Amino acid sequence: KGVPSDQILLGNGSDEILDMICRVFFEPGKENMIINTPTFGMFKVLSAINAIECKEVQMTADFQLDVEAVKKNVDDNTKAVFICSPNNPTGNSMNEASVLELLKLNLLVIIDEAYIDFSTSASWLLRLKEFKNLVVSQTFSKAYGLAGIRLGACYAHTEIIDLLKKVKMPYN
């Protein structure tokens, strides 16, 4: 993947990684996340399990990020925007320019790339160095057909990876 090992964290599937992000970066009952619907159902499930308010912003008619609507929903308690690209269930990738606009906000931007191996769009891993607030997650469950071994990976700045490592169970 061309990413230094101190910027990689492996998890029991990427679902575990997404859950760890919820546990580490949000104050339950107070802070909120923004998701772009329709999207991967686990984002909402994980927010509910972790008592994080989930603001659902409807995508545009062509299933792209509605950047203005996302910005309108950001408040003092918004910690992160979750993006799935290519998106489950719509199958399309998010425009680079709109993702870049969200990366400029003072928020964590989590890009779930579970389907990146099926896509002709470049992975955001290529631009990891440029953004301290970017988290990319990938999985062995889809293109590799290895859902049963439960292996996912997340890639981010070392400060983010170090925080996630503090809560990860040692032997799972």
Ligand X SMILES: *Cc1c(COP(=O)(O)O)cnc(C)c1O
If the CB atoms of residues 34 and 75 are measured against ligand X, the closer one turns out to be 34
Q: Which of 50, 88, 92, 121 binds ligand X (CB under 6 A)?
A: 88
Beta bridge partners of 155: 8, 136
Residue 19 is a binding residue for ligand X (CB under 6 A): no
Q: Residues in contact with ligand X, total (CB under 6 A)?
A: 13
Interface with ligand X, residue 114, by CB under 6 A: yes
Kindly state the smallest distance separating residue 94's Cβ from ligand X, in Å.
13
Among 102, 152, 160, 161, indicate the residue that binds ligand X (CB under 6 A).
Answer: 152
Minimum CB–partner distance for residue 8 and ligand X (Å):
15
Nearer to ligand X, 14 or 71 (CB): 14
SS (H, E, C) the chain: CCCCHHHEEEECHHHHHHHHHHHHHCCCCCCEEEEEECCCCHHHHHHHHCCCEEEEEECCCCCCCCHHHHHHHCCCCEEEEEEECCCCCCCCCCCHHHHHHHHCCCCEEEEECCCHHHCCCCCHHHHHHHCCCEEEEEECCCCCCCHHHCCEEEECCHHHHHHHHHHCCCCC
Task: Tell me: does residue 112 bind ligand X (CB under 6 A).
Answer: yes
Tokens 């996912």, located at residue: 152
Of 44-52, 91-99, 117-125, 135-143, the window that binds ligand X (rule: CB under 6 A) is 135-143
131 CA to centre of own chain: 14
Among 7, 15, 108, 133, binds ligand X (CB under 6 A): 15
For the segment 32-51, give every residue that binds ligand X (CB under 6 A).
40
How far is it, in rounded angstroms, from Cα 94 to Cα 101? 12
* Of the candidate residues 94, 141, 160, 164, the single one contacting ligand X (CB under 6 A): 141
Chain contacts with ligand X (rule: CB under 6 A): 13-15, 40, 84, 88, 112, 114, 139, 141-142, 147, 152
